Amino acid sequence: MSQLITIFPTSVFKTNYNREFDANEKFTFDSYEKTSTENTGNKITPDHNVLGNSNSLSNLKQFFNKSINDYVRNAYNPTAELDVYITESWINYTYPGQHHHLHYHPNSFISGVFYYNTIPNDGLVFVKTVKGMFEIEPKEYNYLNSDSWSLPVINGDLLLFPSTLQHQVDKNKSNDVRISLSFNTFIKGNISKLKASALTV
């Protein structure tokens, strides 16, 4: 019997807030839009600590922290308890005709993108950085033979992924504003006790 075995995959965690946004959360996202400034392709909040500076987003922050712990437990299965904590957080506003450039998040362990207001056929496009020797044209694209892959998202979705994974947002072809909250994390604890690679931070 034949098998196709996927080795060393990149894990992307997806979950949903599963409740409507309350009045305070809506007010906060709307208020930050008024202070947003130009970014590469879209607009962004100058405040890069929105989760720390906005008490109205405390429930969201709790949801993010729980999801981060679930992701680490399932994707990394660490031998010791690790503290993965949010270091930066900001809100992105992508207006009609705008996009979000291809990038990754340096100085971060796991990055997250939370979707407050999505547009039709919305998604986050992940891009492969290491290319194969040949570019073989497939009959049909899948996540194994593609150089990029878009994960569809709806309001309330949260995506968590390694910060080194490159990603981008395609041009907003709708008449609505695409709004997402992004954050970075770092790690502390007994990361490893293995000889020549032990690390406690």
What does each C-alpha distance from 179 to 25, 39, 97, 131 come to in angstroms? 13, 14, 14, 31
Residue pair 150/128 in contact by the 8 Å Cβ criterion: no
The pTM (predicted TM-score) of the whole model is: 0.95
Residue pair 188/85 in contact by the 8 Å Cβ criterion: yes
pLDDT in tens, 138-169: 999 998 899 999 999 999 999 999 999 999 99
Tokens of 37: 């400034």
pLDDT in tens, 102-115: 999 999 999 999 99
Domain at 16-190, CATH from 3.40.50.10190, 3.90.1150.10, 2.60.120.620, 3.80.10.10: 2.60.120.620
